[in-house]
Amino acid sequence: MNAKFLFAATTLAALASAFSSIARADDAPLSSQFAIQAAGSRTRAEVMAEAATVPTTRSQEPNGSRVIAAPKSSVTVQAVRAEAVQALRLGKIPSGEMSF
């Protein structure tokens, strides 16, 4: 009985708060932001001409999408691999369970 009563009471309270907070169309003040009229001095043709130039003045590439060019090096791939093998043999590069 108590659980049913508690559920019914909370449901009624939720419904009452929902219906009391519903905004009505006639409640808006006359100085609402939606009632403000904007008067422009430009013609429709001027605005359309400006809008047509936007794609040509803006980049179509998203910011940060450029990749840095690979740096030029005089070292060959074989030399780098030989150095890595030598460092591994000398224990300068941890491997297996000794790695970090």
pLDDT value, residue 20: 62
Nearest Cα neighbor of 57 from 65, 46, 49, 66 is: 49
pLDDT value, residue 6: 78
The model carries a pTM of 0.29
Q: Report whether 94 contacts 100 (CB < 8 A).
A: yes
Binned average pLDDT, 10 residues per bin, the chain of 100 residues: 77 70 57 64 89 77 75 92 93 75
